[in-house]
Structure 1
Amino acid sequence: MTQLLDHVPLFPLSTTVLPGGRLPLQLFEPRYLDMLATCLREQRGFVVLLLREGNEAGADAVFYDIGTYVQIVDFQQLDNGLLGITVEGLWKVAVHRSWQAPDGLNVGHAERLPDEPEDALPTGRSELASVLRALLRHPVVNRLELEVDFSSAREVGWRLIELLPLNGQEKQRLLEYQDPLARLDRLSDLLEAME
């Protein structure tokens, strides 16, 4: 069954989040504060998309059309006076049409992509789970309280995309894979190149 999202808010960022991942954000622009209020009031989420060109706050932001639909799981006033929220990825989406609302908020029509297969992590890729375990011990990452099924090829791949120091284009390419095992092969190649 196809799930369509009409007039869903789009949030272009210079980072990615995938299903099951968590991302802390600071909101200060009126358009995003209004978006947050609407999302909380209507109990709906928004779509996080990786920036292709421009900057996060700019009206000229150009973004990829495959991203992640997220829900707000926490919010609080930060010490710097800004509003902090934490979002969690629910599922990947394809944005078919987008435009800017009068307040500058990007909005669009999106479609939920099919869920990826739930393949087991191959024995030959156990080093990827070890790298992920090491990354999850970092204090900043640890605060996100991520729950990871280390036996799942897609979950290990998703978390590595979020946490490894890869460039934006590579992260986007990996996000767009629908085959978790092919994604792990690519991640393994990238890790080898980093060493």
Structure 2
Amino acid sequence: MPDRLPLFPLGSVLFPGLTMPLHVFEERYRRLMSELLGPAEDAGEAQQFGVVGIELGHEVGASAAHQLSDVGCMAEVRSVRRHDDGRYDLVIEGRSRFRVEEVDDPDDDRPYLRAATTLIPDELGAGAEEQAERASRLFRVYCERLTGIGIPTEPPAEFPADPLPLSYAVASALVLDQRDKQALLEADHAAARLELASALMRRENRVLTALPTLPAGPLLRREVNLN
């Protein structure tokens, strides 16, 4: 990891092993992408930066004061389309989690944020297998509840069975607010993440059971994140 990791603040949470589309249009983040991709864009080299949640402030606007989450996720560019006007459409994939230690102020040379960071190791935790079985069952019920209110949903055919990737896949798939998503990202290990996800799914399953049937589609529409 670089001594100073470029940061991309978002009002969304990226999880290791999962992908996210980004539309980059703000000048400082165009600058970041230009420096990251540069001549290596067509060379297949891994180009990484840090995605970190915004707890207070806005994604767009040079004057926005960001209060950032303490934990973020390394992002690797998987595909990129550069527009003639300098905008970028990206698909990124989450890699390792990191903890933000110290954030540098932007300056004229680097108008985007950078930070000193520490990688967070991924661990299974005690009881991970049992938690994985429980979370898998609850996720199937969650999908059934969504289908029951008019949003046809099935667990992905290739949903992981191993506790660690499953913990991130479930966390990413659930329709939750950013605070809940961030708590899932920050969980100490896979067992704790699966236990929290199960508690959240029990809550959501109760809510979904009480909802009337909705027009199909709105909750699970994949939104493109704007910088």
Structure 2 length-normalised TM: 0.70
Q: Which of these residues, 27, 45, 57, is aligned with residue 30 of structure 1? A: 27
Aligned to 1:188: 198
Q: Is the 8 A contact 2:99 2:117 kept in 1?
A: yes
**CA shift at 1:100, angstroms?**
2.6
Task: Tell me how far apart the structure 2 counterparts of residues 192 and 9 of structure 1 sit (CA, whole Å).
Answer: 37
Task: Tell me how far apart the structure 1 counterparts of residues 183 and 107 of structure 2 sit (CA, whole Å).
Answer: 32
Deviations 1:40-93 (A, max 9, x none): 237531100111000001331111121001111101157x99421011111000
Aligned to 2:53: 50
Whether 1:12 aligns to 2:9 is yes
Aligned to 2:220: none
SS state at 1:5 partner? coil
Aligned to 1:110: 117
Whether 1:67 aligns to 2:75 is no
**CA shift at 1:132, angstroms?**
8.4
SS state at 2:90 partner? strand
Aligned to 1:159: 169
Task: Tell me how far apart the structure 2 counterparts of residues 81 and 6 of structure 1 sit (CA, whole Å).
Answer: 27
**In structure 2, do the counterparts of structure 1 residues 44 and 126 end up closer, same or farther at CA, with 3 Å as the change threshold?**
closer
Moved more, 84-93 or 32-41: 32-41
SS state at 1:111 partner? strand
**In structure 2, do the counterparts of structure 1 residues 152 and 132 end up closer, same or farther at CA, with 3 Å as the change threshold?**
farther
Count of aligned positions: 183
**CA shift at 1:153, angstroms?**
1.6
Identify unmatched segments of 5+ residues in structure 1. 139-145
SS state at 2:3 partner? strand
Name the structure with the higher strand share: 1
Aligned to 1:141: none
Q: Is the 8 A contact 1:69 1:92 kept in 2?
A: yes
What root-mean-square deviation, in Å, do the aligned CA atoms of Structure 1 and Structure 2 show?
Answer: 2.9
Aligned to 2:178: 168
**In structure 2, do the counterparts of structure 1 residues 94 and 175 end up closer, same or farther at CA, with 3 Å as the change threshold?**
same
**CA shift at 1:167, angstroms?**
1.7
What letter is aligned with 1:68? Answer: C
Q: Which of these residues, 79, 82, 91, is aligned with residue 86 of structure 1? A: 91
Deviations 1:18-47 (A, max 9, x none): 110111000111211111121123753110
Identify unmatched segments of 5+ residues in structure 2. 41-45, 207-227
**CA shift at 1:131, angstroms?**
6.1
Structure 1 length-normalised TM: 0.80
Task: Tell me how far apart the structure 1 counterparts of residues 29 and 157 of structure 2 sit (CA, whole Å).
Answer: 28
Of structures 1 and 2, the larger Rg is shown by 2
**In structure 2, do the counterparts of structure 1 residues 74 and 123 end up closer, same or farther at CA, with 3 Å as the change threshold?**
same
Q: Percent identity?
A: 26
**CA shift at 1:123, angstroms?**
3.1
